[in-house]
């Protein structure tokens, strides 16, 4: 993928080794890059630099990365890739609730960082969905891909960009078993053979279920296929 030299990325991490490594790597890929070591300087840089993507560590000396993510996305529709040493699924769920678009667990390979950055930035070029993508309606749920809105029982429910894309992809393939690798390839646009950690799908499915299912612990619409992936049950 050719890099757009006008694309701006802000790297926020208090570990100078990681911060400098990611900074140098992205500069070599011809991105415009700025870096910050704490929350205060990150917000100041964010306002001046206006990045398209923020690579944001969860634990900073003066702030929690999740809260910074939420604050940044109140200001612009920036993409946020969280860096975390935590592997707990519930902890990652907090990040997605705050608006994070993806996460990368430390330690990570620079090649994987590049894949995830490229996949997120690709999404900025998708401005309007094709006109053939029509409103989908299932019982109490309706999904409008043109306005990117979800209604449950007639009420608008807020969805993050990735939550919406994942739900829409499942719903436009009703009653079809879809593997986690397929979902990663189609929704995140990652090479499914290159991404080993597929738990990101499970976390997002959990968030979606909380928003559309009457009882998320006993889902009626998004069914788990044990050891494989998920199926959207369209009903009648």
Three-state DSSP class for residue 116 = helix
Residue 80's domain comprises 8-125
What is the model's pLDDT at position 191?
61
- Give the C-alpha separation, 139 to 205, whole Å: 19
Task: Decide if 224 contacts 218 (C-beta within 8 A).
Answer: no
**Runs of H (alpha helix) within the chain:** 16-28, 39-49, 65-75, 89-97, 110-122, 161-171, 180-183, 199-212
What is the CATH classification number for the domain harbouring 179? 1.10.10.10
| Residue burial 41-61, b: 16+ Cβ < 10 Å; e: rest | ebbebbeebebbbbbbbbebe
Task: Decide if 140 contacts 117 (C-beta within 8 A).
Answer: no
Asked whether residue 225 is domain-assigned, the answer is: yes
Q: Does one domain contain both 85 and 189?
A: no
Task: Decide if 206 contacts 199 (C-beta within 8 A).
Answer: no
Asked whether residue 130 is domain-assigned, the answer is: no
Provide the domain count of the chain: 2
- Give the C-alpha separation, 20 to 37, whole Å: 10
What is the model's pLDDT at position 196?
53
Q: Does one domain contain both 158 and 222?
A: yes
Asked whether residue 212 is domain-assigned, the answer is: yes
Asked whether residue 179 is domain-assigned, the answer is: yes
Q: Does one domain contain both 80 and 170?
A: no
One digit per residue, pLDDT tens: the chain, 236 residues? 556 667 999 999 999 999 999 999 999 999 999 999 999 999 999 999 999 999 999 989 999 898 999 899 888 888 999 998 876 666 677 777 777 888 888 889 999 999 889 888 887 544 444 444 578 999 899 999 888 899 999 999 988 888 898 999 999 999 999 999 889 888 877 665 545 567 788 989 999 999 999 999 999 999 999 989 999 998 76
Asked whether residue 131 is domain-assigned, the answer is: no
Q: Does one domain contain both 156 and 103?
A: no
Task: Decide if 193 contacts 147 (C-beta within 8 A).
Answer: no
What is the model's pLDDT at position 2?
54
Q: Which of 164, 190, 160 is nearest to 69 (CA)?
A: 160
What is the CATH classification number for the domain harbouring 58? 3.40.50.2300
Residues 71, 77, 83, 84, CA torsion sign: positive
The residue among 80, 100, 125 that closes a domain is 125
Q: Does one domain contain both 209 and 146?
A: yes
């Amino acid at each position: 993928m050719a890099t757009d030299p006008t694309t701006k990325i802000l790297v926020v991490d208090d570990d100078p080794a990681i911060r400098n490594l990611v900074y140098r790597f992205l500069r070599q890929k011809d991105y415009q890059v700025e870096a910050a070591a704490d929350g205060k300087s990150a917000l100041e840089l964010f306002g001046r630099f206006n990045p398209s993507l923020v690579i944001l560590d969860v634990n900073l000396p003066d702030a929690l990365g999740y809260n910074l993510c939420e604050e940044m996305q109140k200001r612009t529709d920036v993409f946020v890739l969280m860096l975390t040493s935590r592997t707990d699924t519930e902890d990652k769920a907090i990040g997605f609730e705050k608006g994070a678009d993806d996460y990368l667990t430390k330690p990570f390979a620079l090649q994987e960082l590049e894949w995830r950055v490229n996949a997120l930035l690709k999404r900025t070029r998708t401005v309007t969905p094709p006109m053939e993508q029509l409103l989908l309606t299932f019982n109490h749920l309706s999904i409008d891909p043109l306005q990117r809105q979800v209604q449950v029982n007639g009420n608008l429910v807020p969805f993050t960009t990735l939550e919406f894309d994942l739900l829409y992809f499942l719903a436009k393939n009703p009653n079809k078993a879809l593997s986690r690798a397929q979902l990663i390839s189609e929704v995140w646009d990652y090479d499914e053979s290159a991404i080993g950690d597929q738990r990101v799908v499970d976390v997002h499915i959990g968030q979606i279920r909380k928003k559309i299912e009457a009882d998320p612990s006993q889902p009626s619409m998004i069914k788990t296929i044990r050891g494989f992936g998920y199926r959207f049950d369209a009903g009648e």
